[in-house]
Amino acid sequence: MPEQSPLDLAEGDLFGPHNLPYGVFSTADEPERRRVGVRIGGHVLDAGAAALTLGSPYAALLARPTLNPLLAAGRTAWRDVRRALTAWVTSPAHRADIEPLLHPVTAVTLHLPYEVADYVDFYASEHHATNVGRIFRPDGDALTPNWKHLPIGYHGRAGTVVVSGTDVVRPSGQRKAPTDPAPVFGPSVKLDIEAEVGFVVGTPSTHGTPVPLADYREHVFGLFLLNDWSARDIQAWEYVPLGPFLGKSFATSVSAWVTPLEALDAAHTAPPARDFPLLPYLDDSDEEEPGGYDIRIEVRINGEVVSAPPFATMYWTAAQQLAQMTVNGASLRTGDLFGSGTVSGPEVNQRGSLLELTWNGRDPIELATGKRTFLEDGDEVTMTAWAPGPHGTRVGLGEVTGRIVPASE
């Protein structure tokens, strides 16, 4: 019996040829040589090597240490490269050339796949924003008056975006409980997660010129899972009046795999009905393609599922977030990231943060590894997701995982 090819995938493989997410990898024998990889099943295709072997004109975009050259190449190139890759991994004629360029995903090191330019985080789930409002501002309206008129966002720290698998050091900082006479300093005691979907910009835009809703797919290359680690005690003390800063800036974990938007054509879904008419630059009621994505996320702590946030429930879409971010003329650069904000559905077991799941620690959750209000040292948080693909398939998003290590002395 001949050995099975890594290209012969089981039916229903989340990483079949309908998916083909991009990453950057290196191998043990050449740890310094980072290059673009494309995931197929349980393997990584050395995409640049494949392009060279097959005489493809895309080698210049693929035999590189980051995705940025491909991101900057624009939508036509993205489509052409994807078409070529699909042919390489599906056509029997290419098998002999392609198989030697496949590495088991467990045998390679995966790196942050892009150089991050700016990082913006939004706040686009009505259920999440309502829960947070109730917890942090119990005496006011849960949603601020602006919430349903614009996607609220803020800039985060680009330099501390880390790839899935990177340990997260528990941050220290100031906090002040209402009962404390003065602020105290120490490791965060309310270390939390935020389950999000992130988007990466490929094509830049011109400073001074807004990007309309309809141009979303000209600029955004793909999406990925993102965990916006949050220290709730540090955040609560610092965030008035200028917003979150150190409570969020210590680490943001992203998946090693970027799923191109083209793989998600079957996953589009209409966002929830809007409660207020939107200003024209945000009004997506006439857009050809519904702006939401039916992405089903699962959040595990130490292997146990604690939540299943449904991305389809997000009030604001990625296209609206892009339009908002640029309506004042701010330019986009290749490598800009933006996060959706925490994804929380209407049900308790659909909440994307421990803040909400435990109602700020009031209602601990029970895990096999013990009771939890917030994260303990050693806890490992893993997010996975899938979305509908073509012809009844499922498109897997690459997981994002991270383990908490104790605060530095």
Cα–chain center distance at 324? 19
Look at strands 168-169 and 394-405 and give their pairing. parallel
Separation between Cα atoms, residue 4 and residue 85, nearest integer Å: 21
For residue 327, the minimal CB distance to a copy of itself (Å) is 6
Q: Is 316 in the site for a copy of itself (CB under 8 A)?
A: no
DSSP 8-state code for residue 148? T
Separation between Cα atoms, residue 178 and residue 105, nearest integer Å: 49
Torsion sign across C-alpha atoms 396, 219, 36, 404: negative
Q: Is 183 in the site for a copy of itself (CB under 8 A)?
A: yes
Phi, psi of 150 (to 5 degrees): -155, 150
DSSP 8-state code for residue 257? -
Which of 17, 52, 239, 364 binds a copy of itself (CB under 8 A)? It is 239
Q: Is 339 in the site for a copy of itself (CB under 8 A)?
A: no
Residue 149 among the catalytic residues = no
**Residues 136-175: x/- map of binding to a copy of itself (CB under 8 A)?**
xx------xxx--xx-xxxxxxxxx-x------x-xxxx-
Q: Is 126 in the site for a copy of itself (CB under 8 A)?
A: no
Residues in binding contact with a copy of itself, number by CB under 8 A: 66
Burial of 275 (C-beta count, 10 Å sphere; 0-12/13-18/19+)? exposed
Please choose, from the candidates 319, 328, 95, 80, the residue with its C-alpha nearest in 3D space to the C-alpha of residue 207: 328
**Residues 194-233: x/- map of binding to a copy of itself (CB under 8 A)?**
-------------xxxx--------------------x--
Stretch that binds a copy of itself, among 101-109, 131-139, 300-308, 386-394 (CB under 8 A): 131-139
DSSP 8-state code for residue 103? E
Give the active site residue among 18, 43, 128, 219: 128
Please choose, from the candidates 253, 243, 252, 249, the residue with its C-alpha nearest in 3D space to the C-alpha of residue 173: 249
Separation between Cα atoms, residue 47 and residue 23, nearest integer Å: 10
Phi, psi of 198 (to 5 degrees): -105, 155
For residue 157, the minimal CB distance to a copy of itself (Å) is 6
Q: Is 241 in the site for a copy of itself (CB under 8 A)?
A: yes
Q: Is 249 in the site for a copy of itself (CB under 8 A)?
A: yes
For residue 75, the minimal CB distance to a copy of itself (Å) is 20
Active-site positions?
A: 128
Where on the chain is the footprint of a copy of itself (CB under 8 A)?
117-118, 120, 123, 133, 136-137, 144-146, 149-150, 152-160, 162, 169, 171-174, 176, 182-183, 185, 207-210, 231, 234, 237-247, 249-251, 276, 279-281, 324-325, 327-333, 336, 408
